[in-house]
Amino acid sequence: MRAARLYAPHDVRIDDIPTPEAGPGEVLVRVRAVSICPSDWRLYEDGHASGVVPDHPMIQGHEFSGDVAALGSGVSGPPVGTPVAVEPTWACGECDLCREGLPNLCRHIIFPSFPQRDGALAEYIACPADAVSPLPPDTSYGVGALIEPLGVGLHAVRLAELRATDHLVFLGAGAIGMCTLLVARAKGARDLTVVEPLCERRDWPARLGCKVVASYEELGKQGIEGDVVFECSGENTAVEQAMRVTRPGGKIMVVGIPHPDVVSFDSTIPRRCELTLLFSRRSRHALEESLHLLATGQVDLAALPTRNYTLDQTQEALDATAARPGDMLRAIVTP
């Protein structure tokens, strides 16, 4: 099969490699769409993920959809040919955290596209059968690839334990910010403010009836505070900015992955205001509810702007992710 493999920073090559087989308990997926996550770009840029360096030319990509191509032994479905979405957090099911119902924190977690496990930027990938679920009818593969970021938003909203009266502030209207916001709206939140410096990205939340401003300083000028602030920008300085716009006694949910990893902030703010700082890790048991939100029209992922690339253009798709053009929330590669 053809696969896009990362050899070194900014060095992606299209290789012919053996097609994987569906092992026991696995489903072989013919990949049809891969959404490029900023975390893919970071590995491509830095050559490591939180210090872990790939030990082989690795295949990236963990936000994907495709068709069932084959079933391994012991697997009864979905039938071959079924379009599916895939939850890419593969837990052992046996450690103490899995037994407590926290598979996203599994001590032996496998995440395709985190070194050393190959991801989905290839024609085929073998996945655990319980990580695969049929897409709703008439769902495009591109939208199917966005089910994973939707699950990230769903997990963050669940962990934040929102109250009906909460005023929510979102820092960043990229794909993760928009997915988190869409879930919060679907759950009944109506008082929403978005901070987004990129002019073109302000349209999407504005169309949904959100108040949208260009910087967190503007929130201060307008006297706007969030009961819950979702940090979705991945900007290193945004954690302190989030603290500055959170109401005393409020919460900050860090959904974005700060880059660089080390974050510092003035501790006076969270201490005096008794703020709660929460972190979410990918998603947990989110696949079925994400598909339900999509199937019932409670969230419309098709409205999010994407750009399509072929597998040969994978490097372009990664570069576009870094450039963050305002009219594209995600680059979608079609292997």
State the nearest-atom distance from the C-beta of 333 to Zn ion, in Å: 13
Is the distance from CB of 25 to CB of 75 less than 8 angstroms?
A: yes
Question: Which one, of 126, 125, 141, 148, lies nearest residue 3 by Cα?
Answer: 125
DSSP state of 215: -
State the nearest-atom distance from the C-beta of 79 to Zn ion, in Å: 28
27 three-class SS: strand
Using Cβ positions, the residue closest to Zn ion within the complex turns out to be 37
Query: What's the half-sphere exposure (Cβ side, CA atoms, 13 Å) at 94?
Result: 2
State the nearest-atom distance from the C-beta of 86 to Zn ion, in Å: 12
Contact set with Zn ion (CB under 5 A): 37, 91-92, 95, 98, 106
State the nearest-atom distance from the C-beta of 269 to Zn ion, in Å: 29
State the nearest-atom distance from the C-beta of 93 to Zn ion, in Å: 6
AA identity, residue 148? E
Nearer to Zn ion, 108 or 207 (CB): 108
State the nearest-atom distance from the C-beta of 72 to Zn ion, in Å: 20
Compute the distance between CA of residue 223 and CA of residue 217 in angstroms, rounded to an integer: 10
Compute the distance between CA of residue 122 and CA of residue 115 in angstroms, rounded to an integer: 16
Nearer to Zn ion, 139 or 283 (CB): 283
Compute the distance between CA of residue 280 and CA of residue 291 in angstroms, rounded to an integer: 20
Instruction: Tell me the torsion sign for CA atoms 230, 235, 236, 237.
Output: negative
Nearer to Zn ion, 85 or 91 (CB): 91
Compute the distance between CA of residue 246 and CA of residue 228 in angstroms, rounded to an integer: 7
Cα dihedral value 129, 132, 138, 140, nearest 10: -130
Nearer to Zn ion, 92 or 323 (CB): 92
Nearer to Zn ion, 16 or 100 (CB): 100
Nearer to Zn ion, 91 or 195 (CB): 91
Compute the distance between CA of residue 141 and CA of residue 139 in angstroms, rounded to an integer: 7
Rounded to the nearest 5 percent, the helix, strand and coil shares of the chain are 30, 30, 40
Nearer to Zn ion, 213 or 253 (CB): 253
Nearer to Zn ion, 64 or 216 (CB): 64
DSSP state of 19: P
State the nearest-atom distance from the C-beta of 37 to Zn ion, in Å: 3
Query: What's the half-sphere exposure (Cβ side, CA atoms, 13 Å) at 163?
Result: 8
Compute the distance between CA of residue 61 and CA of residue 333 in angstroms, rounded to an integer: 9
State the nearest-atom distance from the C-beta of 109 to Zn ion, in Å: 7
